[in-house]
Amino acid sequence: MDDKMDFFENGDYRLITNLINDRMEKLKKYKGFNEKYAKLYDMIDEMDVLLNDEQKQKFNEIMQLFYETEEYYFALSYSLGVKYGNDLKNL
């Protein structure tokens, strides 16, 4: 199997998520991000109050799937940054 696929298949991509989560406080210093981050979690909390039990279960499953797919996005973004980082400086 191709090494790039192994990265996703063997679970190593989650190391990138941990790296990002460890540095989240630095990202929260940026006003635009922090406003969106806070609003997102406020809305998630609001939905949790408004939904009935069956809807909450589905909503929680949606959120879990969102977080799990986000890990793949983080890893892909990181690997693209490593691969094309120098090229991006020239844009």
d(CA 71, CA 57): 22
Q: Phi first, then psi: give them for residue 30, nearest 5 degrees.
A: -85, 120
Q: Which residues contact 58 (CB under 8 A, 6 or more apart)?
A: none
32-88 confidence digits (pLDDT tens): 999 999 999 999 999 999 999 999 999 999 999 999 999 998 888 888 887 777 776
Question: Taking the mean position of all CA atoms in its chain, how far away is CA 48?
Answer: 20
Query: What would the mean pLDDT of 5-25 be, rounded to a whole number?
Result: 83
Residue 91 scores a pLDDT above 90? no
pLDDT of residue 1: 39
